[in-house]
Amino acid sequence: MGRFYITTPIYYVNDVPHVGHAYTTLNADALARWHRLVGDDTFFLTGTDEHGQKVADAAAKNGVAPREWTNQTSRRFRDAWDALDVSYDDFIRTTEPRHYESVQAFLGRIYENGYIYKDVYRGLYCVSCEDYYTLEASDDGACPVHGRPLTEMEEENWFFRLSAFEDRLREYYDEHPGFVTPETKRNEAYSFIKGGLRDISITRTSIDWGVPVPWDPEHVFYVWYDALINYLTALDYGRDDARVDAWWPASHHLIGKEIIRFHCVWWPAMCMAAGLEPPHHVQVHGWLLVGGQKLSKTMAAEGTVRLTDIAPVVLTDEFGVDPVRYYLLRETALGNDGEFSYEGIAHRYNTDLANNLGNLVSRVATVVATKCGGVGPAPDASSELAGEARQAVEAARAAWERFAPHAALEATWGLIGATNAYLERHAPWKMEPGAALDRVLGDALEVLRLVAVLIGPAMPGVATEIWSRLGLTGSPSDERADVALVWGRYPGGLAVVKGTPLFPRIEGAR
Ligand code: MSP
């Protein structure tokens, strides 16, 4: 068993958590839960990014000091993740003293190593991106992402010698083919490097809302420069070397495709400059897009509209927490863009959850109640379903391991479908009580036990509910996957609970 350190990007506090943020966080959560299940020592980090011009402007607009503003707004993310049953191990805020310490220690190290120097910076700046653009990269002087005019900035800044890392980054990419996945995103990152790297300005004097530069306190670090270091702050960088050594570089950064350059070019170079290994893996995901309706603060990007104002709570109120989790994890492969729609959730809910999983649970429990006095029989070691289950377990396991929650769920639903077909074939509701009936029901109960284990990372609440309906004690994540996922562990002789429908059908979904 190894160590598994997974992170989400830290979210800007001036945004309200929306389904796009939830998409990243839930994928990280499911992966963390899977790795805990297989017995990996797992550490799951999320948090909020609280410095920079954008946040300072939002605070000023609301008539409060930046610190007060971030105290109010960071909470919204924590609340959203709690409501979505997100099992983070640490929630970092970049305004915490521990972060200031780690940023100053890390950048201090890079400074001592000679990779930081002073110069004058002139450039076009987009406050929404918190990033500079060259005129060529702009849309006639406007931000290519936000469409707003860029501001001319001229400042005496400290610079990071990114250009010194071009060769080492290329080598790193060549020697670590799995550093950035999927492959298309790796190629994108690699082509940034091949296109030539310019040094970057890493400090500001125009604002004071940031982490002070220890060797030049007139300056604060540029927000991206402090933000990336959060991944090390949470490991107590600068305070506890043994903890950093234990967890770094066993890290997996899950990020959206718009922040590839920061994570796949700057961040590994910064690590190299500080004398650390680059992170182990960056998994890039696409955007959830909405087909043009129901949006307010949206932006035109790549000819489509980005989803920015659907609060997760609107969906969980209507569908329940686990169905929303399921939809977001199941619908889109990590790496691709996905179309998010209300109709899409309602469709998945009615077909995969109500008709397949819910129906399997309810028909098995009903027949156990009517034909077996409510006591579930044990499975058959040589059941025709055992082979099917083994294949599904293997496929799901492999998919979780390669950061493909959608494929893990697809494999699990393949088993659910096969089991529903098995029940149709044998029609236990028409059979007389006896050994043959017990065999069919025992097999179906065993599949449900396996399904509860397999869906646990995606739908922890539903998994535990199924588990207790089967008469099992504890929860499906109590045993390690290599033990729990072996066919035949449903003991039989347990009281099976019929309960109310797990997923009442949604009629006339709007
Ligand atoms: N603060 C920076 C990240 C710093 S990490 C050291 C940032 N924050 S953000 O709040 O703007 O975006 C964070 C992440 O939210 C994005 O990388 C992306 O993962 C996710 N998403 C925001 N909108 C999204 C969609 N519409 N779809 C999918 N994910 C989206 O960037």
Nearest in space to 220 (alpha carbons), one of 240, 192, 201, 194: 201
Residues 312 and 361 reside in one and the same domain: no
Task: Classify residue 276 by its DSSP letter.
Answer: -
Ligand 1 within 6 A of 334 CB?
no
Instruction: Indicate if the pLDDT at residue 343 is higher than 50.
Output: yes
- pLDDT recorded at residue 292: 41
Q: Find the Cα–Cα–Cα–Cα dihedral 466, 467, 468, 474, rounded to 10°.
A: -150
Residues 288 and 420 reside in one and the same domain: no
239 CA → ligand 1 middle, Å: 29
**Residue whose CA is closest, atom 30 of ligand 1?**
20
Residue of 99, 129, 185, 263 marked catalytic: 129
Domain annotation covers residue 285: yes
Domain annotation covers residue 456: yes
- pLDDT recorded at residue 455: 98
20 CA → ligand 1 middle, Å: 7
Q: Which pLDDT band, with edges at 50, 70 and 90, does 437 fall under? A: very high
Backbone angles phi, psi at 365, to 5 degrees: -65, -35
Ligand 1 within 6 A of 405 CB?
no
* Probe residue for ligand 1, chosen from 6, 7, 8, 11 as the CB with the greatest number of ligand atoms within 8 Å: 11
Residue of 146, 257, 280, 498 marked catalytic: 146
Q: How far is CA 156 from the centre of its chain?
A: 38
Q: How many CA atoms lie within 13 A of 507 on its CB side?
A: 0
Ligand 1 within 6 A of 287 CB?
yes
Residues 107 and 195 reside in one and the same domain: yes
Instruction: Indicate if the pLDDT at residue 299 is higher than 60.
Output: no
Q: Among 284, 316, 348, which residue terminates a domain?
A: 316
Ligand 1 within 6 A of 52 CB?
no
Residues 170 and 306 reside in one and the same domain: yes
This prediction's pTM: 0.93
Domain annotation covers residue 350: no
431 CA → ligand 1 middle, Å: 55
Residues 294 and 364 reside in one and the same domain: no
11 CA → ligand 1 middle, Å: 6
Q: What's the total number of domains in the chain? A: 2
Nearest in space to 353 (alpha carbons), one of 226, 243, 458: 458
Question: Stretch 157-175: mean pLDDT, rounded?
Answer: 97
Q: Distances in Å between the alpha carbon of 260 and those of 226, 239, 244, 403?
A: 17, 29, 24, 17
Here the tokens at position 82 are: 């709690």
- pLDDT recorded at residue 206: 81
Residues 490 and 366 reside in one and the same domain: yes
Domain annotation covers residue 329: no
Strands 41-49 and 3-7, bridge-based pairing: parallel
Residues 291 and 402 reside in one and the same domain: no
Q: What is the full DSSP assignment across 19-61?
A: HHHHHHHHHHHHHHHHHHHTT-EEEEEEEEE--SHHHHHHHHH
484-510 pLDDT, tens digit each: 999 999 999 999 999 999 999 998 654
Domain annotation covers residue 345: no
* Probe residue for ligand 1, chosen from 12, 15, 19, 21 as the CB with the greatest number of ligand atoms within 8 Å: 21
Residues 312 and 362 reside in one and the same domain: no
Instruction: Count CB-CB contacts under 10 A for residue 128.
Output: 15
Here the tokens at position 5 are: 């350190």
- 280 is a catalytic site residue: no
**How far, in Å, CA of 379 to CA of 508, rounded?**
39
Task: Find the CATH number of the domain harbouring 248.
Answer: 3.40.50.620
Q: Among 267, 289, 316, which residue terminates a domain?
A: 316
Q: Residue 277: which H helix or E strand, with range? A: none
- 297 is a catalytic site residue: yes
Q: Which pLDDT band, with edges at 50, 70 and 90, does 328 fall under? A: very high
**Residue whose CA is closest, atom 16 of ligand 1?**
256
Residues 267 and 399 reside in one and the same domain: no
Residues 173 and 251 reside in one and the same domain: yes
**How far, in Å, CA of 79 to CA of 75, rounded?**
6
Backbone angles phi, psi at 237, to 5 degrees: -55, 130
Question: Stretch 392-418: mean pLDDT, rounded?
Answer: 98
Domain annotation covers residue 342: no
193-249 pLDDT, tens digit each: 999 999 999 998 888 899 999 999 999 999 999 999 999 999 999 999 999 999 999
Task: Find the CATH number of the domain harbouring 434.
Answer: 1.10.730.10
Domain annotation covers residue 424: yes
Query: Could you tell me if 220 and 210 are in contact, meaning their C-beta atoms sit under 8 angstroms apart?
Result: yes
Ligand 1 within 6 A of 459 CB?
no
For the CA of 230, the closest atom of ligand 1 is 6
- 294 is a catalytic site residue: yes
Instruction: Indicate if the pLDDT at residue 479 is higher than 90.
Output: yes
Instruction: Indicate if the pLDDT at residue 294 is higher than 90.
Output: no
Instruction: Indicate if the pLDDT at residue 395 is higher than 60.
Output: yes
**How far, in Å, CA of 90 to CA of 45, rounded?**
5
Q: Among 261, 288, 316, which residue terminates a domain?
A: 316
Query: Could you tell me if 499 and 358 are in contact, meaning their C-beta atoms sit under 8 angstroms apart?
Result: no
- pLDDT recorded at residue 300: 37
Instruction: Indicate if the pLDDT at residue 379 is higher than 90.
Output: yes
Q: Distances in Å between the alpha carbon of 500 and those of 20, 141, 466, 504?
A: 32, 60, 12, 9
Q: Give first-to-last CA distance, the chain, whole Å.
A: 46
Residues 6+ apart with CB under 8 A from 400: 31, 34, 408, 457
Q: Residue 201: which H helix or E strand, with range? A: strand 200-201
CA angle 348, 351, 354 (to 5 degrees): 100
Task: Give the range of the structural domain holding residue 212, as residue numbers without chain letter.
Answer: 3-316
- pLDDT recorded at residue 122: 82
Residues 390 and 312 reside in one and the same domain: no
Domain annotation covers residue 339: no
Here the tokens at position 22 are: 């939830």
269-287 pLDDT, tens digit each: 999 999 999 999 999 999 8
Ligand 1 within 6 A of 10 CB?
yes
Please list the helix, strand and coil fractions of the chain in percent, rounded to the nearest 5, in that order.
50, 15, 35
Ligand 1 within 6 A of 321 CB?
no
Q: Distances in Å between the alpha carbon of 271 and those of 5, 113, 148, 149, 242?
A: 16, 12, 33, 33, 17
**Residue whose CA is closest, atom 17 of ligand 1?**
256
- 285 is a catalytic site residue: no
Q: How far is CA 243 from the centre of its chain?
A: 23
- 129 is a catalytic site residue: yes
Residues 250 and 103 reside in one and the same domain: yes
Ligand 1 within 6 A of 11 CB?
yes
- pLDDT recorded at residue 307: 58
Q: Which pLDDT band, with edges at 50, 70 and 90, does 16 fall under? A: confident
80-93 pLDDT, tens digit each: 999 999 999 999 99
